[in-house]
Structure 1
Amino acid sequence: MPYLLVELSNITSVISGSMVFIALPWLALEITGSAASAGALVALTSIPGIFFGPILGTLIDRIGRRISGFISEVLTALTILLIPVVHSSIEISFALLVALALGRAIVSPASSTARKSIIPDVAGPSGLSLERANSIHEAVFATGFAIGPAVAALFIGLIGPFDVFYVVACFSTLSATALFFVRTKESRGDGVSETGSLLQDTVLGAKTILKTPAVLLGLSFVMTLAMVYLPTEMVVLPAHFNALDYAEGLGILISTMAGASVVGALLFERLQKTFKYSTILKFG
């Protein structure tokens, strides 16, 4: 049961996040008519992750994984609700949209990290090996990423680029609710600290990454891929389909791309029985 609740939180959170991937650049294009502005929005909202990313793990260990994820999802829902609520009172400029989007970007990353961290704690009680639990988790993540863009495109067409964020907030609320009911004994967290200092714990984590070549290489690979993939998905494609006034086409394309990753995630469990992790990473 705890694992099922974590995965329910996982898929609803990812649907919410992948809807934002479509809706925010689309809204920026609606407000400014400029692909450059949409690109600037994407770039600016990535900054909080760069600065706060290194301390997320430390904070999650101190506060607790379930509680961290719950708080993050609640704050994500509240910050994303501000977009349609503010729009109902005043006209949202591009600068105001950036400010509101930055609020979400600051609070949202912790939920994904917390859910990933709690998998070892809920896999065993659910009768799953860690490899199988991780494989399912990634497949559920990819499924949510496939569903979200299609849902966003549908509701942009039905209720408009501002009110679609009400739907986004609903999915974040569902995610928070699922995490709230998770009951498990966490192997770390609840105030556990290795040094007694938040700053020292963060520095220790950074040093561990730098001293572990495989982790450092994997992190560098993911960051490089993100630099190529995210601008394409969040700027180039929305600009193209916005010019065509075809939100549904954008949703279908992104969902199809994400659907392919579901297959890869499900194959991981079988592949890891035959190949080493390093081999899978190299070919992946």
Structure 2
Amino acid sequence: MPTAVTTLDLTTRRFAPLILLNVATLLSATGNGIVVVALPWLVLEQTGRATDAAIVAGAATVPLLLASLLTGTVVDRFGRRRTAVVSDALSALSVATIPVLAATVGLSVPLLAALAALGAVFDPAGISARESMLPAATRAAGWSLDRVNSLYEANYNLAYLIGPGVGGVLIAAVGPENTLWVTSACFVLSLVTVAFLRLEHAGRPDRATRPASLWAGTLEGLRFVWRDRLLRTLALVDMVIMALFLPIESVLLPAYFTGLDAPAQLGWVLMSLSIGGLVGALAYGAFAPRLRRRTLMLVAVTVLGAATTGMAFLPPLGVLVLLGVLIGLVFGPVGPIGNWAMQTRSPEHMRGRVVGVMTSTAYAAGPVGILVAGPLIDAAGVRTTFFALAVPMMFVAAVCFALPVLRELDPAPESRAAYRP
């Protein structure tokens, strides 16, 4: 028979904040998933040069480093809900500018690069703001962090399953310019959803805990992450993985399928990554109490290297899709594990900055990989470039096996209990 305390706990649980937060994330990430397909396709359709697509993709990635660093401080200074709403509004406006200019003055590669860079400035603020609200939503729902992070990351993968698929279909039906109107609409719906969110610590922070300035707050976040051995290690590993894998999604696969004139097939391969990630993230939530986080990390980086090397042979579409599902499946738990590390090792008033710093490190090496991949494709071809990016991932896996700090992903039972919200 339930005790009075149990009954009270059940009756005071609030699931609305968790639902609204996930709906807003789904809408915003779906819009970005459409852009992943539409923007490179727009460039390649106009010029046919992988280097131009790399320039635009790099322009969209470079601002993410600085923006992610600074917007974490913006979140902690001005509030999580307000930052998320303003971020989505500016993202919607920047994306809508592309089809407007296409219909009036026309588009060029430098102009597309500038617009891609502008749009990329606003995304990290929304991402940091929404992720910073997860622990409070977890407490309101009475769930565990592992369960909520599993759902949240599965939601992200669902968005990148829907986005590229919708993007590929819309490109074939109405063209890449008009496809971007759907992205803009997704951002608008996301900001409306966040506006209804009522959650602890979502409003304007207390004056005593706000960062003194944008620069001082950012430096404080950087110092905090660097001094934490586990967060520092996860950030550095993520940097290397992003530098190697982001060009595959952003340049290599679009260049390959553009050559085949097959936008729908590009959508299928990108969707396969998200299908695997969706299943992997959900499975992590169900089995987290019986799994070791370190083991899952090691399996993820090892399989990533092997499966990406298999992709480099450019096998038939069915094999590419299966390898994409496998990559997503083993990497599905990595996002929830990274979130858990940030949430359990950062104080409440610094969470935006910690999330921002960790997110920015994921983008730090991405532009280098993208800008190297584009000219290399033009000079040596897609397959050679694929191998040049895939093989080093096996080295990353070997290094991770030798990192004892990853054992801190599995704290002692008494410490683990203290981490529950």
Distance (Å, rounded) in 2 between the aligned partners of 1:106 and 1:196? 22
- The alignment's TM-score, normalised by the length of structure 2, stands at 0.65
* 8 Å Cα contact 2:77/2:211 also seen in 1: no
Deviations 1:128-174 (A, max 9, x none): 22221111001111111111100000110111011110011111111
- The alignment's TM-score, normalised by the length of structure 1, stands at 0.95
**Coordinate RMSD, CA, aligned:** 1.6
Structure with bigger gyration radius: 2
Q: 1:236 aligned to 252, 255, 259, which one? A: 252
Task: Say if 2:197 is the partner of 1:182.
Answer: yes
Distance (Å, rounded) in 1 between the aligned partners of 2:229 and 2:298? 14
**Stretches (4+) displaced over 4 A:** none
In the other structure, the counterpart of 2:270 is: 254
Residue type of the alignment partner of 2:118 = G
- After TM superposition, give the deviation of residue 196 of structure 1 in Å: 2.2
In the other structure, the counterpart of 1:86 is: 101
Distance (Å, rounded) in 2 between the aligned partners of 1:79 and 1:194? 29
* 8 Å Cα contact 1:73/1:108 also seen in 2: yes
Residue type of the alignment partner of 1:250 = L
- After TM superposition, give the deviation of residue 282 of structure 1 in Å: 3.1
Aligned pairs for 1:124-163 within 5 A: 124-163=139-178
* 8 Å Cα contact 2:76/2:211 also seen in 1: no
Distance (Å, rounded) in 2 between the aligned partners of 1:195 and 1:262? 36
Taking a change above 3 Å as real, the CA distance of residues 105 and 187 of structure 1, as seen in their structure-2 partners, is closer
* 8 Å Cα contact 1:272/1:280 also seen in 2: no
Residue type of the alignment partner of 1:18 = G
Aligned pairs for 1:189-208 within 5 A: 189-190=204-205, 192=207, 193=209, 196-208=212-224
* 8 Å Cα contact 1:152/1:251 also seen in 2: yes
In the other structure, the counterpart of 1:281 is: 297
Identify unmatched segments of 5+ residues in structure 1.
none
* 8 Å Cα contact 1:143/1:258 also seen in 2: yes
Distance (Å, rounded) in 1 between the aligned partners of 2:241 and 2:29? 19
In the other structure, the counterpart of 1:169 is: 184
Distance (Å, rounded) in 2 between the aligned partners of 1:31 and 1:97? 11
Higher alpha-carbon deviation: 217-226 or 191-200:
191-200
Deviations 1:85-123 (A, max 9, x none): 111111111111111111101111111111111011122
Residue type of the alignment partner of 2:223 = K
* 8 Å Cα contact 2:161/2:274 also seen in 1: yes
Q: 1:268 aligned to 266, 274, 284, which one? A: 284
In the other structure, the counterpart of 2:226 is: 210
Percent same amino acid at aligned positions?
30
Higher RCO (C-alpha under 8 Å, 6+ residues apart): 1
Taking a change above 3 Å as real, the CA distance of residues 191 and 242 of structure 1, as seen in their structure-2 partners, is farther
Q: 1:110 aligned to 121, 125, 145, which one? A: 125
Distance (Å, rounded) in 2 between the aligned partners of 1:116 and 1:280? 22
Task: Say if 2:43 is the partner of 1:28.
Answer: yes
Deviations 1:65-103 (A, max 9, x none): 111111101110010000001111111111111111111
* 8 Å Cα contact 1:61/1:188 also seen in 2: no
Q: 2:239 aligned to 210, 220, 223, which one? A: 223
* 8 Å Cα contact 2:38/2:167 also seen in 1: yes
In the other structure, the counterpart of 2:384 is: none
Identify unmatched segments of 5+ residues in structure 2.
1-15, 301-421
